[in-house]
Amino acid sequence: MRLSVLSSLLIGSLALGGCRSSSPAEVLAITPSRDVTSSVAPSAPVPSADVGAKARVAVAASNPVARQTDTIAIPPKEQVLAWAGTPAQTTGVLANMPVAEPVVAPTLRPTVASEADRALRGRTRVYAHRFSDAKPINFGKVTPRHYAVHGVDVSRWQGDIDWPKLRTQGANFAYIKATDGGDHLDPMFRTNWRKAKEAGLKRGAYHFFYWCRVASDQASWFIRNVPRDPDALPPVIDVEWNGESSCKRRPSPEKVREKMQVFMDMLERHYGKRPIIYTAPDFYDDNLRGAFTSYPFWLRAVAQHPSKVYPGRNWRFWQYSGSGLSQGVNGKIDLNVFHGTEEEWHRWASNDGA
């Protein structure tokens, strides 16, 4: 009886000694799950190790992922992202330390760009137009609705404008009356200039040209009153015959073009952008047909498409109505479209009209 007890103790001691002498690598052979974050893709095929029947049973009982295979993937050391130790700690035996829970990549929700973010990228949101017209016109096959980007032009006569509301109605750009001749500033210019930008519109300023004033004086007056904003659209020279003006002078076509060139050259030097020419059919026929081919045009055509009113003339903007109606404005407002797609608008506006 006593001998049997001693024998049993001896055998147990040997068994324990054998367990202590087992290789740590064998004890820690159960390795992390194959799940890794989706942002890290293995650079090479992941080796696998057969861990024996008993080890497989133990792993399968505790790890549902491992139940699906007879082998357990051992990812490269740099891909075991759950272990955040120092390089020294991740070497040797600890490199195969089992992971208690699989690493799951966080779900990233797409962010919606704010108006400020879009503005920084030079791409403000384009709203579909919701304007109506007090005097609707049938333009035929190609109508203003066929163009993606709509806008307005305004002056003191629109009064106090609700610019955020006007923008959501489809005013993606606005040309704002700044100056007349050599001594008149539109009393709403500064307010409209500031509020239009705050509402996220692309905006530019225009000058109504007087034929009884020196061109250089008019350019100096415009420059004095219109800030040099790199985000602004190119400046506009509005040339037309105005029967209501006190100036009844109608210079020759040569003199008209000479005065326009002086004014536009001064503005281009100051603002670094080639001015746009706004005009109406009668003035165009008298003075501008075939002239200024390197300048962008903004054409008034409220009864027909510009291609019929100004044959052969390329244009950038089309003013198609002087009787537009919109929320955000009391009374009527001029309506316009940009000649191009939405993508072309973004490119043109971001290149400052080039």
Give the lowest-confidence range in 144-158, 238-252, 308-322.
238-252
Does 130 lie in the same domain as 69?
A: no
Q: Is residue 109 part of a domain?
A: no
Q: Do residues 168 and 248 both lie within one domain?
A: yes
Note whether 324 and 181 are same-domain residues: yes
Residue 352 pLDDT: 56
Look at residue 78 in the predicted model and tell me its pLDDT. 40
Q: Assess whether pLDDT exceeds 50 at residue 312.
A: yes
Q: Are residues 171 and 317 in the same domain?
A: yes
256 and 175 part of one domain: yes
Tens digit of pLDDT for each residue in 267-281?
999 999 999 999 999
Among 112-116, 155-159, 185-189, 298-302, name the one with the lowest average pLDDT. 112-116
Average pLDDT for 174-194: 98
Query: Is 114 inside a domain boundary?
Result: no
Could you give the residue numbers annotated as active site? Answer: 240
Same structural domain, 72 and 159 = no
> String of b and e for 14-27 (b: at least 16 CB within 10 Å)?
eeeeeeeeeeeeee
Could you tell me the pLDDT band of residue 246, with boundaries at 50, 70 and 90? confident
CA distance readout (Å), 246 to 205, 243, 249: 23, 8, 9
- Residue 157 within any structural domain of the chain: yes
Residues 216 and 78 in one domain: no
More confident residue, 43 or 219: 219
Domain count, the chain: 2
Pair of tokens at residue 312: 């052969």
249: in domain: yes
Residues 78 and 151 in one domain: no
In this predicted structure, the answer to whether residue 12 has a pLDDT above a threshold of 90 is no
Based on the domain organization, do 172 and 253 belong to the same domain?
yes
Could you list the beta-strand ranges (E) of the chain.
Answer: 48-49, 72-73, 132-133, 150-154, 173-180, 184-185, 202-208, 236-239, 276-279, 297-300, 317-325, 333-338
Residue 353 pLDDT grade (very low, low, confident, very high; cuts 50, 70, 90): low
Whether residue 301 is found in the same domain as residue 180: yes
Average pLDDT for residues 319-333, to the nearest whole number? 97
CATH number of the domain to which 153 belongs: 3.20.20.80
Query: Based on the domain organization, do 169 and 92 belong to the same domain?
Result: no
User: Could you tell me if 83 and 146 lie in one domain?
Assistant: no
Please determine, for residue 19, whether its predicted confidence score (pLDDT) is greater than 80: no
In a domain, 38, yes or no: yes
Q: What is the DSSP string of 311-342?
A: TT---SEEEEEEEEE-TTSSS-EEEEEESS-H
Full domain range(s) for residue 176? 126-350
Is residue 96 scored above 60 in pLDDT? no
